[in-house]
Amino acid sequence: MTSISLGSPVPDFEALSTGDKSVNLRDYRGKYVVLYFYPKDNTPGCTQEGQAFRDNIEKFTALNAVILGVSRDTVRVHEGFKCKQAFPFDLLSDADEKLCRLFDVIKMKNMYGKQVQGIERSTFLIDPDGVLVREWRKVKVKNHCEEILQALNEPASKGLA
Which neighbouring-strand residues pair with 36? 69, 123
145 counts as catalytic:
no
Between the CA of residue 141 and those of 135, 146, 156, what are the distances in Å?
14, 10, 24
The CA-based dihedral angle spanning residues 3, 46, 75, 128, taken in that order and rounded to the nearest 10 degrees: -50
**Options 46, 83, 100, 145, the catalytic residue:** 46
Rounded to 10°, the helix 44-55/75-85 angle is 60
Residues marked as catalytic = 46
